[in-house]
Chains A and B, each alone.
Chain A
Amino acid sequence: MSGNGKAPMVAVEGVKKVYRRDAEEVKVLDGLSLEVPEGDFVALMGPSGSGKTTLLNLIAGIDRPTAGKVIVAGTDVAQLGESELARWRSRNVGFIFQFYNLIPVLTAEENVALPLLLTNLSKKERRERALTALKVVGLAERSQHYPRQLSGGQEQRVAIARAIVADPKVLVADEPTGDLDSKSAEEILALMETLNRDFGKTIVMVTHDPRAAQRAHTQHHLEKGVLSL
């Protein structure tokens, strides 16, 4: 339980993650535990290979722990089957990548509406929601532009709109400012603060950038798969 008596939005309990490379076992996370209360904005920092992205992937439900529990929004994600996990991700997690990863053949609006294809919404409703999400990130007027017609910062804002369009409880961001200049990075961080403050999104962000980490409420440092405050 978190301090306010409510169940945490993210609870990682004694998680181990081991990768196999040929005959060798590489221990990435070693009995790590972490709680993120609902509405928190957490930054995960640490050197390369410390296990930040692995932890983020476990929280996002795109990887499974070797041992331990990962409970997000009340669901033990490790217990879900492949297709259940995919459905769960579409409803509960918004993922923001370092390199935006927009689909180049789709317009900004179509990219944002992509997760809504998995819902029962009509085409009109999907379009309305995508435009609303683009308005939130300040790019409604660029809705018909293709990724190649947008700057890096704009692409990342479209990616954030895609992450929030299905109204997930948790946003996970893997170095969201890592590929941006300082001005664009500042805009993205401000936007994430807004999403956290005004829309109550719980955010877990991996970053190398100390200035970015300072925008989070809580900072965690990982060193060789172990957490240190």
Chain B
Amino acid sequence: MKYLPYVLKHLRRNWIRTGSTVMAMAVCIFLFCTLQTIIAAVNYGLKSASASRLVTRHSVSLVYNMPLAYKERIAQIPGVKRVAISNWFGGVMGLPPDFTKFFANFAVEPEDYLAIYPEYVLSDAEKQAFFADRRGAIIGPDLAERFGWSVGSTVQLESTIPPYRIGRPFEFVISGIYEVDEVRYPGTDGRLFFFHHKYLEESTRNRAGAGTFSIEVNDPDQAAAVGKAIDAYFENSDVRTKTETEAAFRAGFVSLAGNLALLLNGIGIAVTFTILLVTANTMSMAVRERRTEIAVLKTLGFGSGLVMALILAEALVLGVLGGGLGLILGKAMIGVLPSLPLIGDVARAFPNLGLSPLIASLGFGIAVFLGLAAGLLPALQAYRARITDTLRTV
């Protein structure tokens, strides 16, 4: 510790250089944390995907709906146990719509959907209340907590999707709040809102159609074959289908954003490598400028190992400062991400979006590694520098 003031004084020697290096490293760690958090959120969502469930959608895009009649035909295909219609409603509260209060909401067929998705745990009384009330809705515990809703609360939502807009908001009554069992069903999103598909159909005068079909198969090992059979059945129809496993569907949904994660991950790696080079260059310059000083330290009796350690300590401090700042920036960014325009919609779709201790530790570790790696070569040069050679060339 007695050497720390000496190390810090050197970092303050050229504070613009030190500051810009720390900032560069902070940006790198900020990028890493933000990207990894998004990727972790995506993976968290995929965790809840069941191997026995398929999702069928319009072969062209999720934007287009399919005929409701497809449900009966899919149900007749061998291997299919149960089918439920599910539509992304895109409803928003407030007039004009307040997107800061956005949450995911779906129109579903209550009985079939809850049978296919046992992870939304409801008491029998709540289930019956939901089934019986056409305007009824069930919500997740996180959503209830966020808005202070309870059973009996009324909610008004207006869809952002043109066919679902009826000139007034849809009105719902909360019938139940489902429970999330993280042990049995990890990755269950506690922020969802489900209501009757019939309500949507009636209110839109049957314009709604089916956004997706959630399908439970008898044998998970046959899921791929059943999916192929479904798509083959509609091969010659006007509206062809695309059926995939639930995990693939969710992963594909994420890739709708242009495979953002892969792209940004690539950028992140490039930035990290660049920062390593920049920091290494900065450290080399700092050490080169101090060749005489290093020779003087050695003349005074500082061992080569100690001189090397002092330079590595400087690099370490740069890493710690950059990592710390990067984490603060990353945490702040992840916090405001859901309220940002455009990207906020995507961010809000992910449950559990937050900087995890694991990612924070990894980010900090990378910063420390970057600092040490950047300082290693200059430190080795200082270690090897011979006093007489250095003093002679000054």
Task: Determine if B2 and A123 form an interchain contact, defined as CB atoms under 8 angstroms apart.
Answer: yes
Shortest Cβ distance from A167 into chain B, in angstroms?
13
Shortest Cβ distance from B298 into chain A, in angstroms?
7
Quick one: CB contact mask for A128-145 with B, threshold 8 Å, 1 for yes?
Answer: 000000000000000000
Chain B binder among A34-42, A55-63, A180-188, A218-226: A55-63
Task: Determine if B301 and A89 form an interchain contact, defined as CB atoms under 8 angstroms apart.
Answer: yes
Within 8 A of A (CB), among B237-291: none
Task: Determine if A60 and B299 form an interchain contact, defined as CB atoms under 8 angstroms apart.
Answer: yes
Task: Determine if A87 and B301 form an interchain contact, defined as CB atoms under 8 angstroms apart.
Answer: yes
Within 8 A of A (CB), among B1-58: 2-3, 5-6, 9-10, 12-13
Task: Determine if B302 and A118 form an interchain contact, defined as CB atoms under 8 angstroms apart.
Answer: yes
A60 to B387, CA, bound (A): 11
Task: Determine if A117 and B3 form an interchain contact, defined as CB atoms under 8 angstroms apart.
Answer: yes
Q: Quick check: is B181 within 8 A (CB to CB) of the other chain?
A: no
Taking A105-B13, A117-B3, A117-B6 as contacts, is the C-beta distance between A87 and B388 under 8 angstroms? no
Q: Quick check: is B300 within 8 A (CB to CB) of the other chain?
A: yes
Task: Determine if B299 and A87 form an interchain contact, defined as CB atoms under 8 angstroms apart.
Answer: no
B interface residues, tally (CB under 8 Å): 24
A103 to B388, CA, bound (A): 18
Most A CB within 10 A of own CB, among B3, B292, B391: B391
Q: Quick check: is A68 within 8 A (CB to CB) of the other chain?
A: no
A interface residues, tally (CB under 8 Å): 27
Taking A62-B387, A101-B296, A117-B3 as contacts, is the C-beta distance between A106 and B9 under 8 angstroms? yes
Shortest Cβ distance from A174 into chain B, in angstroms?
9
Within 8 A of B (CB), among A68-104: 82-83, 86-91, 95, 97, 99, 101, 103-104
Task: Determine if B387 and A63 form an interchain contact, defined as CB atoms under 8 angstroms apart.
Answer: yes
Q: Quick check: is A32 within 8 A (CB to CB) of the other chain?
A: no
Shortest Cβ distance from B212 into chain A, in angstroms?
65
Q: Quick check: is A67 within 8 A (CB to CB) of the other chain?
A: no
Task: Determine if A83 and B305 form an interchain contact, defined as CB atoms under 8 angstroms apart.
Answer: yes
Q: Quick check: is A115 within 8 A (CB to CB) of the other chain?
A: yes
Task: Determine if B299 and A106 form an interchain contact, defined as CB atoms under 8 angstroms apart.
Answer: no
Q: Quick check: is B188 within 8 A (CB to CB) of the other chain?
A: no
Q: Which chain A residue lies CB-closest to B392?
A: A53
Q: What B residues does A118 contact at CB under 8 A?
A: 300-302
Q: Which of B2, B293, B298, B305 contacts A103 (CB 8 A)?
A: B293
Q: Which chain B residue lies CB-closest to A83?
A: B303
Q: Which of A86, A105, A162 contacts B298 (CB 8 A)?
A: A86
Q: List 15 A-B contacts (CB under 8 A).
A: A62-B387, A62-B388, A82-B303, A83-B304, A83-B305, A86-B303, A87-B301, A90-B300, A95-B299, A101-B296, A105-B9, A105-B13, A114-B6, A115-B300, A117-B3
